[in-house]
Amino acid sequence: MAILPILTTPDPRLKMVSEPVEAVTDETRKLMDDMLETMYDAPGIGLAAIQVGIAKNIIVMDISEAGAPAAPRYFVNPEILESVEEKKPYEEGCLSVPEYFNVIDRPEKVKITYLDYNGERVTEWAEGLYAVCIQHEMDHLKGILFIDYLSRMKRDQALRKVRKVNKMNASA
């Protein structure tokens, strides 16, 4: 296993549209293992492959509560089949936009289909934090960051914050 470097905005790779995976192979699973380790190390509750520079439709997630046993989830080629009309606000953050948080409205339930760690198809409804996180991660696969939903002013504020954090980390 390996901890991979996480890209931060304005890295242009974060705007790429990721490609479907042809089959879930041992190579796919190795990448997912490394992504999970990278996510736990960060720490974060989700990670899309493009955040480590790989433009493939792969996501890892663990939304279990602190202190609870680890509950990793793996998503290959996820698709949203249905979304409810009702939107719910949630304060989001992103490892690619370090130390910036803001509230985003998203559909409160989405029906998704994806391939799991073993390449088996799963189709289910996601709600609560699961719905927030899968939509945030699937946006990464399309090159979208949560700050793209904010006003120009708030997005610029986020970008300034990231630049400052990156500068501090570089000099530390």
The residues carrying an active-site annotation are: 137
Per-residue binding letters, 3-32, with ligand GNR (x by CB under 6 A): ------------------------------
Report how far residue 108's alpha carbon sits from residue 83's, in angstroms, rounded to the nearest whole number: 8
Q: Are 13 and 64 in contact (CB under 8 A)?
A: no
Tokens representing 139 are 């946006």
Write down the least CB distance from residue 54 to ligand GNR, Å: 13
Q: Which stretch binds ligand GNR (CB under 6 A): 44-52, 75-83, 117-125, 164-172?
A: 44-52
CB neighbour class for 42 (10 Å; exposed up to 12, middle 13-18, buried from 19):
middle
19: phi then psi, degrees, rounded to nearest 5: -105, 150
Write down the least CB distance from residue 42 to Ni ion, Å: 10
SS3 7: coil
132 binds, among ligand GNR, Ni ion, none (CB under 5 to 8 A by kind): ligand GNR
Judged by the rule CB under 6 A, the positions of this chain that interact with ligand GNR are 44-48, 51, 92-96, 132-133, 136-137, 140
